[in-house]
Structure 1
Amino acid sequence: MSEANPKQAAPSGAPPAEEQDRVEAQARRAVAAGQGPLARLGEYRHLGLVIALVLLAVVGLVTRPENFATTSNLVTILALASTIGVITVGMTFVIIGGGIDLSVGAIMALASVWATTLATQSYGPWVMVMCALLVGTGAGLINGFLIAYGRMVPFIATLAMLVAARGLAQRMSDRRTQLVQPDNNLLVELSTGRILGVPPLVFVFLAVVVVGWVVLNRTTFGRRTYAVGGNPEAARLAGINVRRHTVILYALSGLCCGIAAVLIMARTTTGSSTHGDLYELDAIAAVIIGGTLLTGGRGTIIGSILGLLIFTLITNLFILNGLNTSDQLIAKGLIIVVAVLLQRRSLETRT
């Protein structure tokens, strides 16, 4: 009797254990060899991003020493990075898993509007927080099901969610900004309070980063994310439920949008359909700058956060120096182009 072919065994639900071990071992190697924009530096792949941050800090110290090198400005930079940073963590998972999510900004806006309706606020801040988290996760689940089971291209499915979520947010709020009521001051404390001189929302951001790093680098879920993004067919043959995993990835991205909605409500004391405008572009750009491949299978949380800090620092420097916003966008666009070219050069060199 001839031996069973692994490709024939896969549909029966009992793929060989060796094949699953091989795919997960390959995913572990991808974790260890996460490729940054300076992948040729090996284990020092993030050194280029750190150098860029140092150079930007030097520019700030030279051009605006009286404003840049202050505690209040550092707190401002961290607070600005926190909201987009939480979204960036979710985006990192999605892109490593071989997808893309264009709807993150709109989902965040919808979650903030839903959580700040008078009916929701009447139940107190904890219900507002839970509402934002559930709305974000629910929208992410819809994205995941459309992509995994509806077989829609991620770009199209999330683009449709972007339009629909933003429209629903506008309809719910009647295009008006909804204010957080004074009796919900526990929520506002996330922004106005101080722990070791830093707003609590920064610690929320740091907690999301730590949890994201642990999940991506120290769990089976993280290894399978690399496997699904690197070669979904091989992952399927190894026994990984690729469709279910894809749904979870987008739900995770939606959950991060819900957390970001809580942070934006705390910072602005409002819920608005205009929240999160172009956040999807900033998050994707930060992930790319951090070295995550748009084709999936490679990337790191640390790289994405370094990319985010670079963009946040650039924005801060432009504001301090009174430079035009359009020039800022041009600079960011050039950085993205350079990062993608470095990625391609790195891949060509390795092949």
Structure 2
Amino acid sequence: MTQPAPAAEAAAHKTAPADGGSPWRATLARADVRTLSLLGVLAALILIGGVTQPDSFLDTDNLQLILTQASVIGVVTVGMTFVIISGGIDLSVGAIVALASVWATTVATQEYGFAGILFTAVVVGMGCGLVNGLLIAYGGMVPFIATLAMLASGRGLALQITDGKTQMVTVDGVLRLGERDSYVLGIPPLVLVFAAVTVVGWLLLNRTTFGRRSVAVGGNAEAARLAGIDVRRQRLYLYLLSGLCCGIAAFLLIVLAGSGQNTNGNLYELDAIAAAIIGGTLLSGGRGTIVGSVLGVLIFTTITNIFALNNLETATQQIAKGAIIVAAVLVQRRTANNH
């Protein structure tokens, strides 16, 4: 009789429920606690904003602004969540957004109109993701090093393309998406795109074999390999997905700013990682939620908005964000110990 491989056997014992119930019961309980905690933080921030700036914060235009600003980094965070769940990291997302945005707004690209700008942004994003994936999955490079190299080269290439100048968009179809006339039932188009990406990301993670394989690779790559999962190919797909999200985010940023700049996406990698972490995604991999990551994005965007309305310093804002990250991690650890 063939004996089970040690890694696979260990993984089986790890995922087997102690009480014979569903193996997802404890995970769902932890997810509920995290989600409720994040909703509580968001509700508290909304209360603070409403009390400190009742006329400005709760104004419809300001709420639309918060959601619009959250859309760009939110799309990036969805892709980042998948990468972190698999046990990886992507430090190049901000640089990819910058490179995709400037490449898509060159004079030559804009000659092809709306479709040309969108196509270029997405292709550049996926191209960078492909390079990251090949270096990490098949080149054996550590994700931190490979994506750090992409960060440096992406920023450098974006600067070379623009020569340090802002590239203004002249395509009416793109500019029109940022105008109020394009809102659907009072919802900006960028928010609708963010919502669509979130829904697709949730379905992909929770309702497909792709999502299950991503979690398996992050939880125990060797056990996943022994179970028949092509770990290298899965990691390649995950970085392609991250690049796709960066390309979409670049297009949204072009619509929002009406231009392409080599400084676009500055520190997006830190914001996306922080949002995913406070949303319950483990940096070590194997666990994460799209809903939690989206709530993390909304929390950070709301904090930024409240501080801006109250004319508070950026340094204080960063301290507040850091405190929230620490508190979220402590809540995660306490929840994990209780289950």
Scaled to the shorter chain, the TM-score interval is over 0.9
Corresponding residue for residue 138 of structure 1: 127
Equivalent pair of 1:31/1:223 in contact (CA under 8 Å): no
> In 2, Cα distance between the equivalents of 1:35 and 1:236?
26
- Distance in 2 of aligned mates of 1:73 and 1:99: 36
TM-superposition CA deviations, 1:148-205 (whole Å, max 9, x none): 1111111111111001100000001111110101xx1111222212111121111011
Asked if 1:80 is matched to 2:69, the reply is: yes
Q: TM-score, normalised by structure 2?
A: 0.92
Q: Residue type of the partner of 1:191?
A: G
Q: Which of 172, 178, 181 pairs up with 1:191? A: 178
Relative to the length of structure 1, the TM-score reads: 0.89
User: What is the SS of the residue equivalent to 1:330?
Assistant: helix
Aligned-residue offset at 1:125: 1.1
* Aligned partners of 2:34 and 2:332 also within 8 Å: no
CA shift at 1:330, angstroms? 1.1
SS at match of 1:46: helix
Q: Counterpart of 1:259?
A: 248
Superposition deviation, residue 92 in structure 1: 0.6
Which string of whole-angstrom CA distances, capped at 9 and with x for unpartnered residues, describes residues 289-344 of structure 1? 10111101111000001111111110010001010011101111121122223333
> Does the 8 Å CA contact 2:34/2:279 hold for their aligned counterparts?
no
Partner of residue 58, structure 1 = 47
Q: Distance in 1 between matches of 2:144 and 2:36?
A: 32
Aligned residue number for residue 217 of structure 1: 206
Report which stretch shifted further, 309-318 or 194-203.
194-203
- For residues 49-93 of structure 1, the C-alpha deviation after alignment (integer angstroms, 9 at most, x for no partner) is 111111111111111001011100110000000000000000010
Q: Distance in 1 between matches of 2:128 and 2:86?
A: 18
Question: 1:234 and 1:334 mapped to 2: Cα distance?
Answer: 36
Question: Which consecutive aligned stretches of 4+ in structure 1 deviate over 6 angstroms post-superposition?
Answer: 29-32
1:293 maps onto 2:286 in alignment: no
Which runs of no fewer than 5 residues in structure 2 stay unpaired? Answer: 17-21
Q: CA deviation at 1:33?
A: 4.9
Q: Superposed, which structure 2 residues align to 1:277-288 within 5 Å?
A: 277-288=266-277
- Cα distance, 1:33–1:186 mapped onto 2, change above 3 Å: farther
State how far apart, in whole Å, the 2-side matches of 1:79 and 1:310 are. Answer: 14
Distance 1:172 1:143 in 2: 21
Once the 2 structures are TM-superposed, how far is the Cα of residue 227 of structure 1 from its aligned partner? 0.5
1:304 to 287, 290, 293: 293
Which of 232, 242, 248 is matched with 2:237 structurally? 248
- Write out per-residue CA displacement over residues 93-123 of structure 1, whole angstroms, 9 at most, x where no aligned residue: 0001110111000000000010001111111
Check whether the contact 1:111–1:136 (CA below 8 A) recurs between aligned residues: yes
What is aligned with 2:264? 275
Q: Which residue of 2 aligns with 1:71?
A: 60
Match of 2:192 among 185, 193, 203: 203
1:48 aligned to 37, 41, 46, which one? 37
The residue identity in structure 2 corresponding to 1:123 is: Y
Whether the 8 Å contact between 1:112 and 1:261 is mirrored in structure 2 is: yes
1:149 matched to 2:138:
yes
The count of corresponding residues between Structure 1 and Structure 2 is 331
Q: Secondary structure at the match of 2:186?
A: coil
Aligned-residue offset at 1:4: 3.9
Number of the residue aligned with 2:105? 116
- Indicate conservation of the 8 Å contact 1:35/1:298, yes or no: no
Give the counterpart of 2:318 among 317, 321, 329: 329
- Whole-angstrom CA distance in 1 between matches of 2:25 and 2:236: 25
Aligned to 2:96: 107
1:158 is matched with which residue?
Answer: 147
Give the letter for the 2:220 counterpart. Answer: N
Partner of 2:305: 316
1:14 aligned residue:
none
Does the C-alpha gap of structure 1 residues 172 and 5 become closer, same or farther in structure 2, counting only changes over 3 Å?
A: farther
Distance between the aligned counterparts of 1:219 and 1:320, measured in 2?
Answer: 42
The residue that corresponds to 1:15 in the other structure is none
In the superposition, relative to structure 1, how do residues 32 and 75 fare at CA in structure 2: closer, same or farther (>3 Å)?
A: farther
Q: CA separation in 1, counterparts of 2:136 and 2:55?
A: 50
Residue 286 of structure 1 contacts residue 307 of structure 1 at CA under 8 Å; is this kept in 2? yes
Identity %: 60
Structure 1: gaps (5+ residues) = 11-17
